[in-house]
Chain A
Amino acid sequence: MIWVETLLNGLMLGGLYALFGLGLSLIFGVMKIANIAHGELAIGGAFLAFTVVGAVPVPLVILLPVIAVLMFGLGYALQSAMINRVLGVDPIPPLLLTFGLSILLQNLLVELYGANSRSLDPGSFGIEGIDLGGLSVGLLPLMTLVITIALFAALQWMLSRTSFGRTIRATSDDPEIVAMMGVDRRHIFALVMGLSALLAAVAGMLLAMRTSITPFSGAERLLIAFEVIVIGGLGSIWASLLGGLVLGVVHAIGFRLDPASGLLYGHILLLVVLLVRPQGLAGKRRTR
C-alpha cells in the first residue's frame, strides 16, 4: 500500500514538474532556443503573488490568473525588447542573454524580498485530503494535477485547432516563409515567450503552495524543467507530460528509499536516458 501511495504522490508531483517543462518545451519548439531564466520566471511569479496577497487579500482563484496574465506581459516584453535582437544562427548569444537575465532576476528578488523562504497559503484545502479506497490523497496535490492536465489540454487544443496555434506551428517549421503570410515572427516569438512565462508562473505559484521557496529556488526549477523535456523527448507537448510524470515518480521513490537524496536520482535518470535513449522516452528524433 505504501508503494501505491508513493506512486500516486510521484504522479502528482510529476504533474507539477511537467508544467515547469511545458513552457521551456514550447519556446524550444518554436524558437530553437532555451531560456535559462525559466526558473526565475516561475519563482518570480510566485513572489509577485506574495506581494499581491500581501497588499490585497484576494482568493487564489483570482490571484492565479491575474499573476499569470502579468507574467505573460513580462515574457512578451522580454522577448520583444531583448531576446528577439539576438536570435540568429549562433545559439550562444540568446543563451548568454537569458543567463544574464536569470542572474539579474534572482538577485533582484533577493534585494526586494530577502533570502528567507516563503510560501503561499493555500487556505484550508492545503491540509485537507480525500479518501480514495483507503488511500489518503491531499486535495492540493490533486488540484495541482488537475490544473496541469487542464493546461496541457488547453495548449494542445490551441496549437492544433486554432488559427493562432496553426501560425505558431508554421512559424516553428519555417520562420522566414511565414512572413509571406503577413506574419511578423518577432511578434509570434514574443507571444510564445509570454505563454511560456505564464505557464512557468502558474507552476511557480502551485509550487509555492506545497512547499516554501527562496529567490534561489529558480535554478533547481530550471534543471527540473530541462530534465522533463529531455527525458520525455522533444517534439510533442505530451512527451513533456510523460517526462514530468516519470521524473516525479523517480523522485518520490528516491525520497522513500533515501530521504536525503534531493534531486540526485532525477539527475542520474537524465544521464541514463541520454545514454540509452537520447531522443527521450517519447521522442521521435534526435534531441538537438
Chain B
Amino acid sequence: MNRFLVPLLILILCAMPFVLGRGMLFLSTEILVVIAMAQAWNLLAGYGGLLSLGHHGFIGIGGYALFIVTRDTGLHPYLAIPFAGVVSAGLALILAPILFRLRDVYFAVGLWVSAEILRIVVMRVDFTGNVNGMPLTAARDLNREWMGTNAYWLALALAVGVTLVVWLMMRSSFGLRLRALRDDEVAARSIGVAPRQVRLIVFMISAGFAGMAGAVHFLSSLFITPVAAFDITWMVTLVFVTIIGGIGRLHGPILGAILYFALREFLGFSSSWYLFALGAAGILIILFFPRGLAGLLDTLIAKFAKKGTAS
C-alpha cells in the first residue's frame, strides 16, 4: 500500500504551489524546512542517542555558507545548497574530537556553547556582515516570479530526501550498528561496532542536513542576520516537534511538524503563551506518552487491525 501511497502523496505535494496562495505556500515551505531539520536532529538524538542542543549552530552556518559563497564566487544559490551542507558537516568534523569527550547532557550543552561561539564570532566579523547581517546578493540571479515556488520545491526535495536517507540508513547494517550503540555501548563494542566512527558519521550527516535546511530557509527569506541564524528558537522547535511527533521514529518529525504549525496558526496565542503550552505539552508527553504521536498512532492502528481480523 505504502509503495503507491507515498509517491502519490509526494506528487500531490509537488503540485501544491499551483493550488496554494502566497501565505500558505510560505507556511508550507517553513513546515518542510522544519521537517528536514527535525529529521536531521532525530537521526542524531533519536536513533544515535546523541542529544544535541546546538543544532542552531549548524543551521546558522549553513545559511551563512550559502550567502557567502554566492556573494564571493557567483555560484548559483540553488547549487550552493549542497555546499552549505558540506560546510556544516565539516564543522561537525572539527567539533567532534572535542565534544566526543563528553556524554549525554554534557555533549548536548557543549554543542550549545559551540553554537554560541559561532553566533558571537559571526556578529563581530565584517566578512559575515557583523551584527547587521547581509542580503542575498545573488538574488538578482533568481526569477522573482518563481522564487517562492522554487523555495517550496527545494524545501520539499530536502524534506523528502532527508527522510529517505534516514529511512535507508536505518534499514542498513549501519543503522543496526547505530541503534546497538545507543542501546548498549558495551555490548555493541563487543560485537565489533566502532563507536567513534559510527557516531562521527551520523553526527556529520545530521549536521550537514541541518546546514542544508538552514541554507534553504535563508535563501527563501533573502536576508540573514546572526540573531535569526543562530536563534535558540530553532532548537526549541526541533526538540518539541520531535518529542510531540515521536522521538526515534521516522514519521515522528513529520507528524510533529504538522501539529506544531497547525496549533501555532490556529490557536492564535501570543508567542510566549504558545511556547509555555509547548513546554507543558512536551513534559506531559515525556511523562505519559514517551513514544509521542507516532507511538499513539501505531497503538491505534494495531487496535484497529485487531478488531478488523476479529470480526
Contact = CB atoms under 8 A, between A and B. Distances in A.
Interface residues on B, range: 35 or more
Contacts, number: 127
Contact of B287 (A82, A95, A264): A82
B280 A268 contact: no
Given A103-B236, A274-B99, A287-B101, A96 B275 contact: no
A275 interface: yes
Contact of B113 (A99, A260, A262, A267): A267
Contacts of B104: 34, 91-92, 95, 288
Contacts of B22: none
A271 interface: yes
Interface in A248-288: 260-264, 267-268, 270-271, 274-275, 278, 286-288
B43 to A, nearest CB: 14
B286 interface: yes
Interface string B252-287: 000000000000000000101101101110110011
B71 to A, nearest CB: 25
Contact of B98 (A108, A226, A275): A275
A226 B113 contact: yes
A219 interface: yes
Contacts of B247: 92, 96
B89 to A, nearest CB: 19
A223 B53 CA distance: 11
A104 B239 contact: no
A107 interface: yes
Main secondary structure of the interface of B (DSSP, over half): helix
Contacts of A86: 286-287
Given A93-B290, A96-B239, A103 B279 contact: yes
A101 interface: yes
Given A267-B116, A270-B110, A101 B105 contact: no
A274 B287 contact: no
Contact of A107 (B105, B239, B275, B287): B275
A222 B109 CA distance: 9
Contacts of B121: 264
A33 B109 CA distance: 12
Nearest to B116: A267
B239 A274 contact: no
Interface residues of A, number: 46
A261 B119 CA distance: 12
A264 B236 CA distance: 22
A97 B110 contact: no
A58 interface: no
B105 A274 contact: no
Contacts of B101: 274, 278, 286-287
B113 A264 contact: no
Interface in A118-147: none
A108 B283 CA distance: 15
Contacts of A287: 101-102, 106
A279 B116 CA distance: 22
Given A222-B109, A223-B112, A107 B272 contact: yes
Interface string A39-65: 000000000000000000000000000
A110 interface: yes
A33 B105 contact: yes
Contacts of B272: 107, 110-111
Contacts of A103: 236, 240, 275-276, 278-279, 282
A194 to B, nearest CB: 19
Given A85-B287, A95-B108, 10 more contacts: A91-B104, A100-B282, A103-B276, A103-B279, A226-B113, A262-B120, A267-B113, A274-B102, A286-B101, A287-B106
Interface of B: 45, 49, 51, 53, 97-99, 101-106, 108-110, 112-114, 116-117, 120-121, 124, 232, 236, 239-240, 243, 247, 270, 272-273, 275-276, 278-280, 282-283, 286-287, 290
Interface of A: 28, 33-34, 36, 82, 85-86, 91-93, 95-97, 99-108, 110-111, 219, 222-223, 226-227, 230, 260-264, 267-268, 270-271, 274-275, 278, 286-288
